[in-house]
């Protein structure tokens, strides 16, 4: 089965993409073509065992989509590893060729416990749209995995046929994703992180997990672990972690405009499905589910 | 979408344009040979566009679509922008659009932001549309459109764009064209963490833009770990200013905030916020 094509698109896929984008004004057809290439890349990494759920998991925006988040990143992909990754092996694992698409990993950028293939180049043979030959990036963080991964269907969320078969992807545990997002919001203050925290709050609340003492304990523990990992990245990071006294942590969630102004950054986010959530909705979720989870 | 239809004359016009190596028909320039096919070439081109045989770009310009692909989405927007703007004079695609094109932020933008060096009220007085994208146009009379100031001609498709270093500098010149402070500061951060900043070039471009831009660039380079280069490549005279400059033009000026006394720049967006966005680095 390993050599079977991943993609199963219809001949009028370009028309389907164009029609889809007309109904979703924040998306351009080239974003969708690139997104399909990223989905194939992830599917291939699952199929060839690179994303195995034990040493490496899908995280970031693509993992959030598997949890049915409507927000869409348009260029990056993220994975997390609990063992050191070998760039050459990864490059081979990323490279993929089937009749409808070819993917090749380009040069690697190395950061502190993070490597990024940029660009990952693809040729989408199924498309005549401008992004049929384009690129995206794929990052692999080597900062550990704290909780057992979960498996979710790789959800593309497009209304047209795309994958030849369902792919079950190992994704970072949602509690760990939440901890990462909270730490990122506290330290760096991007609107996308506040938005994702609110989404994960609603997800926990749907099954009352936000009230579960074990969930609270785990999330709080992972947050502390992630903060300590961040503090080791640089002196600047360490200073920012040390500034996060308890009252400051809480204020950055309950009064996001004091930390930064996420309203402004929200205008730039892309959403695959549904409307952009209002700031009021987002803040309500954070106040109602996340703040008690962390501070009660 | 409606299918393309080609009359015999349409086919002949397109074949002639192709023989003349034209990807875009410009009514004013191509009038002599177009007149062989119609007494009223302007009306002929409009009718062709109505049939999907051409794509109307605006200002008497028509792009030639591929057979079977009359939808504007099949055309690279860069090609249509170049077709529309290049014959008027200097222009470049820049600001948020360039930040995205250089992959410094993970965003999509349904409009295109350009600077033009010529007067054209149809572009600047109303929200123009080219190739289905709205155009956000800013006019500048400064000499900022040359390769020496960081404007490059990209090939395939051909269009003029600010290079990566110039895009970073433009953020400190006209930040309102970058969506939000978070956006351009995050772009700076990715450039820093990926080792893409060429401090000498950034400083040179800042001097071309002049005014308070070099001081702002100095402050940003210092924050980004390039303080020695900023001090080396930005002449000391840029700091001989009576007034403290705000780091970000379109944010409110505040008196209760940190001042970089060396560069004489006021962090009217708190330094802590900017540092966070830059430090993220992804």
Q: pLDDT tens, A142-184?
A: 999 999 999 999 988 899 999 999 999 999 999 999 999 999 9
Give the residue from chain A lying closest to B274, CA to CA: A188
Report chain B residues whose CB lies below 8 A from the CB of A21.
Answer: 73
Touching check for B132 and chain A: CB below 8 Å?
A: no
Identify the pLDDT of residue B159: 94
Report chain A residues whose CB lies below 8 A from the CB of B103.
Answer: 75, 118-119, 135, 137
Q: How many CB atoms lie within 10 A of CB A112?
A: 15
| Nearest CA among A12, A79, A75 for reference residue A50 | A79
Give the mean model confidence (pLDDT) for residues A97-120.
92
Identify the pLDDT of residue B73: 80
User: Does some domain include residue B3?
Assistant: no
Touching check for A106 and chain B: CB below 8 Å?
A: no
Contact criterion met (CB < 8 Å) for A191 and B195: no
Identify the pLDDT of residue A263: 66
Confidence of residue A266 (pLDDT cuts 50, 70, 90): low
Among B75, B109, B126, the domain boundary falls at B75
| Nearest CA among B102, B256, B249, B97 for reference residue B178 | B97
Within this chain, do residues B57 and B109 fall inside the same structural domain, yes or no?
no
Contact criterion met (CB < 8 Å) for B108 and A116: no
Give the residue from chain B lying closest to A191, CA to CA: B182
Q: How many CB atoms lie within 10 A of CB A26?
A: 20
Confidence of residue A1 (pLDDT cuts 50, 70, 90): very low
Touching check for B110 and chain A: CB below 8 Å?
A: yes
User: Does some domain include residue B225?
Assistant: yes
Question: Within 13 Å and on the Cβ side, how many CA atoms surround A146?
Answer: 20
Residue A270, pLDDT > 70, answer: no
Contact criterion met (CB < 8 Å) for B280 and A190: yes
Contact criterion met (CB < 8 Å) for A188 and B77: no
Q: Which of A18, A26, A184 sits opposite B73 (nearest CB)?
A: A18
Give the mean model confidence (pLDDT) for residues B8-15.
90
Structure tokens at B106: 């993970």
Question: For residue A40, what are the CA distances in angstroms to A64, B208, B214?
Answer: 17, 45, 45
Confidence of residue B174 (pLDDT cuts 50, 70, 90): very high
Among B75, B91, B120, the domain boundary falls at B75
User: Does some domain include residue B2?
Assistant: no
Identify the pLDDT of residue A271: 62
Beta bridge partners of B116: B91, B139
User: Does some domain include residue B55?
Assistant: yes
* Least confident stretch, A151-160, A243-252, A273-282, B37-46: A273-282
Q: What pTM does this model have?
A: 0.87
CA B258 to chain centre: 32
Report chain B residues whose CB lies below 8 A from the CB of A129.
Answer: 73-74
Question: What is the rounded distance in angstroms from the CA atom of residue B172 to the CA atom of residue B164?
Answer: 14
Residue A2, pLDDT > 60, answer: no
Confidence of residue B16 (pLDDT cuts 50, 70, 90): very high
As a whole number, the mean pLDDT across chain A is 91
Q: Which of A25, A119, A189 sits opposite B273 (nearest CB)?
A: A189
Q: Which of A26, A75, A188 sits opposite B277 (nearest CB)?
A: A188
Within this chain, do residues B121 and B70 fall inside the same structural domain, yes or no?
no
Domain that holds residue B211: 82-280
Calculate what percentage of chain B has a pLDDT beyond 90: 57
Q: Which of A114, A116, A260 sits opposite B273 (nearest CB)?
A: A260
Structure tokens at B123: 């572009």
User: Does some domain include residue B191?
Assistant: yes
Which is more confident, B20 or A229?
A: A229
* Least confident stretch, A24-28, A230-234, B202-206, B256-260: A24-28
Within this chain, do residues B175 and B135 fall inside the same structural domain, yes or no?
yes
User: Does some domain include residue B239?
Assistant: yes
Identify the pLDDT of residue B132: 74
Contact criterion met (CB < 8 Å) for A264 and B195: no
Residue B74, helix vs strand vs coil: helix
- For strands B265-266 and B91-93, give the pairing: unpaired
Which stretches within chain A are classed as H helix? 13-22, 29-47, 60-66, 87-94, 174-188, 191-206, 213-231, 235-242, 246-254, 256-259, 262-266, 279-285, 291-295
Identify the pLDDT of residue A55: 96
Sequence-distant (≥ 6) Cβ neighbours of residue A199 within 8 angstroms:
A64, A69, A71, A285
How far is B143 from chain A, CA to nearest CA, in Å? 31
Within this chain, do residues B86 and B45 fall inside the same structural domain, yes or no?
no
Identify the pLDDT of residue B5: 83
Identify the pLDDT of residue B77: 87
- For strands B111-116 and B129-130, give the pairing: unpaired
Beta bridge partners of A122: A103, A134
Residue B59, helix vs strand vs coil: coil
Within this chain, do residues B22 and B151 fall inside the same structural domain, yes or no?
no
Touching check for B182 and chain A: CB below 8 Å?
A: yes
Question: What is the rounded distance in angstroms from the CA atom of residue A118 to the CA atom of residue A18?
Answer: 27
Substitution target from B97, B131, B158, B276 for chain A, most A beta carbons within 10 A:
B276
Within this chain, do residues B103 and B67 fall inside the same structural domain, yes or no?
no
Within this chain, do residues B40 and B168 fall inside the same structural domain, yes or no?
no
Touching check for A29 and chain B: CB below 8 Å?
A: yes
Calculate what percentage of chain B has a pLDDT beyond 70: 99
As a whole number, the mean pLDDT across chain B is 89
Number of domains chain B is built from: 2
Among B54, B75, B96, the domain boundary falls at B75
Contact criterion met (CB < 8 Å) for A75 and B103: yes
Confidence of residue A75 (pLDDT cuts 50, 70, 90): confident
Within this chain, do residues B28 and B99 fall inside the same structural domain, yes or no?
no
| Nearest CA among A265, A261, A263, A255 for reference residue A286 | A255
Confidence of residue B157 (pLDDT cuts 50, 70, 90): confident
Residue B60, pLDDT > 80, answer: yes
Which is more confident, B246 or A278?
A: B246
Contact criterion met (CB < 8 Å) for A74 and B75: no
pLDDT tens sequence across B76-120: 889 889 988 888 899 999 999 999 999 999 888 888 999 999 988
Rounded to 5°, the CA angle A172-A154-A56 comes to: 35
pLDDT tens sequence across B258-278: 999 999 999 999 899 999 999
Within this chain, do residues B206 and B149 fall inside the same structural domain, yes or no?
yes
Contact criterion met (CB < 8 Å) for A267 and B74: no
CA A107 to chain centre: 22
DSSP code, position B115: E
Touching check for A188 and chain B: CB below 8 Å?
A: yes
Report B:205-234 residues touching A (Cβ under 8 A): none
Question: What is the rounded distance in angstroms from the CA atom of residue A194 to the CA atom of residue A280?
Answer: 12
- For strands B129-130 and B133-139, give the pairing: antiparallel
Within this chain, do residues B181 and B48 fall inside the same structural domain, yes or no?
no
Question: What is the rounded distance in angstroms from the CA atom of residue A168 to the CA atom of residue A196?
Answer: 22
Contact criterion met (CB < 8 Å) for A26 and B193: no
Ordered structural domains, chain A, with CATH? 13-172 (3.10.450.620), 175-295 (no CATH)
Touching check for A133 and chain B: CB below 8 Å?
A: no
Angle between helices A235-242 and A174-188 (to 10 degrees): 100
Q: Are B2 and B65 in contact (CB under 8 A)?
A: no
Within this chain, do residues B138 and B34 fall inside the same structural domain, yes or no?
no
pLDDT tens sequence across A35-66: 999 999 999 999 999 999 999 999 998 999 99
Confidence of residue B20 (pLDDT cuts 50, 70, 90): confident
Identify the pLDDT of residue A275: 64
Residue A36, helix vs strand vs coil: helix
Residue A108, pLDDT > 50, answer: yes
Q: Are B174 and B213 in contact (CB under 8 A)?
A: no
Touching check for A5 and chain B: CB below 8 Å?
A: no
Contact criterion met (CB < 8 Å) for B179 and A267: yes
Q: Are A55 and A170 in contact (CB under 8 A)?
A: no
Within this chain, do residues B102 and B237 fall inside the same structural domain, yes or no?
yes
User: Does some domain include residue B253?
Assistant: yes
């Amino acid at each position: 089965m390993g050599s079977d094509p991943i993609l199963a698109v219809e001949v009028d896929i370009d028309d389907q993409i164009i029609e889809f984008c007309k109904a979703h004004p924040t998306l351009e057809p080239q974003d969708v073509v690139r997104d399909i290439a990223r989905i194939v890349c992830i599917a291939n990494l699952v199929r060839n065992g690179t994303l195995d759920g034990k040493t490496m998991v899908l995280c970031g925006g693509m993992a959030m989509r598997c949890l049915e988040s409507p927000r869409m990143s348009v260029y990056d992909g993220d994975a997390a590893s609990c063992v050191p990754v070998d760039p050459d092996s990864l490059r081979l694992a990323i490279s993929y060729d089937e009749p409808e698409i070819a993917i090749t990993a380009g040069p690697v950028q190395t950061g502190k416990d993070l490597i990024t293939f940029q660009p990952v180049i693809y040729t989408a043979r199924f498309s005549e749209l401008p992004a049929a030959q384009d690129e995206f990036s794929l990052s692999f963080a080597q900062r550990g995995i704290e909780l057992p991964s979960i498996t979710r269907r790789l959800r593309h969320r497009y209304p047209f046929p795309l994958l030849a078969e369902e792919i079950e992807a190992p994704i970072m545990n949602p509690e760990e994703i939440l901890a990462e997002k909270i730490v990122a919001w506290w330290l760096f203050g991007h609107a996308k992180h506040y938005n994702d925290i609110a989404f994960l709050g609603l997800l926990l609340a749907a099954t009352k997990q936000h009230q579960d003492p074990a969930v609270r304990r785990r999330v709080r523990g992972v947050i502390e672990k992630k903060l300590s990992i961040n503090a080791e990245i640089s002196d600047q990071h360490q200073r920012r972690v040390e500034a996060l006294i308890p009252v400051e942590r809480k204020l950055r969630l309950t009064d996001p405009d004091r930390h930064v102004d996420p309203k402004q950054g929200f205008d730039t986010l892309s959403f695959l499905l549904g409307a952009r959530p209002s700031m009021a909705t987002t803040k309500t979720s954070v106040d109602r589910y996340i703040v008690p989870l962390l501070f009660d | 979408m409606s299918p393309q239809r080609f009359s015999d004359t349409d086919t002949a016009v397109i074949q002639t344009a192709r023989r003349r190596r034209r990807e875009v028909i410009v009514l004013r320039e191509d009038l002599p040979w177009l007149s062989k096919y119609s007494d009223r070439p302007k009306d002929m081109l409009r009718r062709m566009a109505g049939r999907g045989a051409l794509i109307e770009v605006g200002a008497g310009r028509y792009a030639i679509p591929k057979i079977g692909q009359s939808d504007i989405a099949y055309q690279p927007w860069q090609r249509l922008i170049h077709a529309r703007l290049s014959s008027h004079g200097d222009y470049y695609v820049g600001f948020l659009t360039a930040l995205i094109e250089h992959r410094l932020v993970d965003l999509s933008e349904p409009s295109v932001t350009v600077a033009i060096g010529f007067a054209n009220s149809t572009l600047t007085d109303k929200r123009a549309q080219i190739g289905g994208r709205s155009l956000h146009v800013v006019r500048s009379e400064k000499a900022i459109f040359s390769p020496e100031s960081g404007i490059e001609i990209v090939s395939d498709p051909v269009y003029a764009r600010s290079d990566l270093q110039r895009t970073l500098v433009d953020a400190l010149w006209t930040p309102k064209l970058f969506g939000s402070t978070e956006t351009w500061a995050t772009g700076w951060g990715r450039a820093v963490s990926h080792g893409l900043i060429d401090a000498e070039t950034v400083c040179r471009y800042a001097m071309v833009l002049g005014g308070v831009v070099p001081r702002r660039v100095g402050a940003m380079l210092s924050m980004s770990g390039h303080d020695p280069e900023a001090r080396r490549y930005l002449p000391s005279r840029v700091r001989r200013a009576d007034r403290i400059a705000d780091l970000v033009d379109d944010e409110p000026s505040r008196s209760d905030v940190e001042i970089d006394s060396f560069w004489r720049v006021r962090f009217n967006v708190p330094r802590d916020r900017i540092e966070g966005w830059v430090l993220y680095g992804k």
